Structures are given as structure tokens and as C-alpha cells.
Structure 1
């Protein structure tokens, strides 16, 4: 966390109405010292704690491609910003087969006050100031789940709930890059779309929730490559919506 805040904002000096902005709900594996999750610390480098690669991409989009970013600075295991306040998984007690014993009986209301509410209040202000043409929500997914040997074939996927106008263009344009593109994969935005439901769909703002397979972006070189491609492809999407 920076200055006690559960988020950081990068590239604010490049905000311009009608541009693009980026949101990364799961960009950090940080756990405050006063929270004991009761797990092996090696798991903090696993997908259950952080969306591997997205923090580096969000930084590059902001610093090199003039796409300002709102980036989480707290692990999803402490408080999941991509869940509604009343969802049990907002403070998860298990993830991908791993028990999170330190969260059993946790003071959920305190976590919401310290992390979830400040994060979303600041994001709402960020969006109101930026007046973006489109929002990019960045996530990453594992090549397979720990609970399954089934390999996921998509290098990238687009998730959406009701508003698929930007996603449709993005699916086509990423496909033209020679990529295997998932359509509401590896899970559906119709079931899990909390941040974009709240900040994009509720306000009529087009968005692309982009899921990138982690083996594509687990190195700085991969993150740089994808930042360039995202800026190009999603810039073109924004012209279509």
C-alpha cells in the first residue's frame, strides 16, 4: 500500500476527456502486517493472491501509452475488489482448493471500510474526472486450474455482462493478430463482472475486460509486448464504440 491507500493511480497528468483509462483490481499480492492469512507465503506469488503480470502492464499503459491507470495495492486474499460487498468471496475463505484459515471469522465490515470502499470511491472519482470513451479492465488467468489438468487454449479473452459492444470489436481485432481469443472465457462476465457492472455498465460507458493467459505476461518482456498490443487494439476498439 502507498500512503495507506488500497490503490495507486498512475498517469493522472495524461487524463483527457474521451480517452482510455485502465483498472487493475487484482494487481497486488500485498498483505498488511496486521493480517495473518494463515497460508504458506509461497502462495502469495500464486494466482489466488494476485493476477500475475497485470500490474506491470497497467504501469506501462499509463507511463508509455498515455492510458491512466487505477491499480490495486492490496491482495485479493485480503479483500477482493472484484466482488460486491455482500458476496462471501469479498473476503475469501478458500480459493482454487486452498483454505484461507485467517479469513474465517474475519471482520468483513472492517475490511470493507479499510480497503473495498476507499478503492471504489476513488475509482468512481477517477472515472468522473476522466470522462473516458472506454474503460480497460485488466486481469490474467492461469494456463490451467490447480484442480484440473485441462489446458486453457486462449491467449486472451474478453469478458462482458450485458454490454458487449466493445468486447465484440476486441474479439475480432485480437483474432486478426493470430491469437486464440476466448469469448466470456475462462469464466463468464455474466456471473462475475462486479467492477465493470458498477462503474461501466451502470454509467453506460463501453468497456473491455481483458483476461490474458499468465504465461504470456509473466516476464517484463511479455508485459511490454502486451502493453503495446493492448494500446493498439483497444485504441482501435474505442474508435468503433
Structure 2
């Protein structure tokens, strides 16, 4: 039997120096293991319900060109949402943005947690303990408009946070100075959707920025390169101020 691939990969960690920046990407992949049947049309795996479009390319550029190591998910959020707490129903979603995920109805949630969620977070915790980052960048992207809503989202980038907003405040200001429309806990609120940073950053007093980029900004390689450069600059400046 072929060994099950790890639910994460790490780039640039071999040369990581304590006190630097670290990038975490919970929704980077649309991979569905062969033994899991979601029961959805294949084209949906390229949509936002399955993957945060553009973030994997940005994270790879941050690691390889800007010296910011990355911890990157290698399984779709539809298989197991690594950016949810273990006790949340949406950790194995039965529905996403109006699309039913029939293969997840009645799924063995405990088995999914043991196979994907726990190894992913255990490895991230070990990396953070060894690296002692000065700032963590949690990288996500959001769709310009939900299928279940007529409302278009005007923000090109957004910062989410729960209780600790010290790094987010600096980032909001710096992105605004770039002429961008910046969301402040929009289109989602970090008081409700911040599981990975609640666990690995806020609980340990580590400053972080949960950055959401609108997907039309990063759908191609040019956009991803632009945003990798901008993020490296802004996050580097934020790290000096927190």
C-alpha cells in the first residue's frame, strides 16, 4: 500500500533563523485522496469552496524568493478544514457556499481528524516552537462574490483578528498606504474564523497577521508575484513594529 502523503509540506524551513517571519497556509490545496469520495462535480475542486485560489503560489514565492518559510496544507478544505477547531461541524463540511458535499454526510469525522487535522497542527506547533517566529503570516484568499449572495466584496485585501490586533493594525495602515481598499475583520470576522491563529499565535502571545486577498488579485502568476513582493515588504515592516 502506498503511504498516505502528509497533510502538509514545509518550504524554506531548513535555513530558518529564530525570530524571523513564518507563513502558514491552511487552504492551499484542492487534493482529495483517492479513497475519499466527496460526491461533487470535479470542476468544483478548482473553485473557492475547495481551495484558496492563488495562495500556494504566493507562499512558494515568499519562501523561495523572499526568505519567509512556509507551512502549507496539502489536502482540500472539503476533506478536512484545517482552519477549524476539531469540535466545529464544518471541520468536515457537509455544505459550502450553497453546494452540498454528499460524501461528507455521515463521514467518520474522528478518522479525518486523526489522518489530516492532528498531524498538520502537530507539525505546525513543532515548527513554531523551534523557529520562535517574530511574526506569523496566515495567508488566505476570498472570492469576489459568494454564490449565495448578490453582494460584491469591495476589499482587495483584508486583515482578520480575534483579541490580538496589534500586528493587524499596522498592516491595515501599510496596505492602505499602497492605495488598496482594506477590510478590517471583513468579509469574515476573526472573532469567529481564526482557529489556527487562536491556537498557534494568540494562545502563545505571538503577533500575527491573518491576511485575506481577493482572488481576482492573485488568480495568475503575475498577481501572485506582485502580492508576494508586497507581503514580504509589508510583513517585514510590521514585524519591526510589534
Question: TM bucket by the smaller chain?
Answer: over 0.9
| Partner Cα separation in structure 1 for residue 35 and residue 95 of structure 2 | 20
Aligned to 2:229: 228
| Partner Cα separation in structure 2 for residue 37 and residue 109 of structure 1 | 17
| Partner Cα separation in structure 1 for residue 214 and residue 44 of structure 2 | 18
Give 1:165-184 correspondences, 5 Å limit.
165-184=166-185
Aligned to 1:150: 151
Measured on the aligned residues, the alpha-carbon RMSD in Å equals 0.9
- Report the more deviating stretch, 207-216 or 7-16: 7-16
Number of aligned residues: 240
In structure 1, the gaps of 5 or more residues are: none
Aligned to 2:32: 31
Give 1:76-95 correspondences, 5 Å limit.
76-95=77-96
In structure 2, the gaps of 5 or more residues are: none
Give 1:168-207 correspondences, 5 Å limit.
168-207=169-208
Change (3 A) 1:150 1:100: same
| Partner Cα separation in structure 1 for residue 55 and residue 130 of structure 2 | 23
Aligned to 2:133: 132
Shift of 1:14: 2.7
Q: Secondary structure at the match of 2:158?
A: strand
Aligned to 2:105: 104
| Partner Cα separation in structure 1 for residue 4 and residue 234 of structure 2 | 34
Shift of 1:4: 1.4
| Partner Cα separation in structure 1 for residue 27 and residue 67 of structure 2 | 21
Contact 1:14 1:67 in 2 (8 A): no
Contact 1:20 1:132 in 2 (8 A): yes
Contact 1:141 1:213 in 2 (8 A): yes
Shift of 1:12: 1.1
Give 1:18-97 correspondences, 5 Å limit.
18-97=19-98
Aligned to 1:116: 117
Q: Secondary structure at the match of 1:233?
A: helix
Which stretches of structure 1, 4 residues or more, deviate above 2 A after TM superposition? none
| Partner Cα separation in structure 2 for residue 132 and residue 192 of structure 1 | 22
TM-score, scaled to structure 1 = 0.98
| Partner Cα separation in structure 1 for residue 133 and residue 76 of structure 2 | 27
| Partner Cα separation in structure 2 for residue 37 and residue 26 of structure 1 | 17
Q: Secondary structure at the match of 2:75?
A: coil
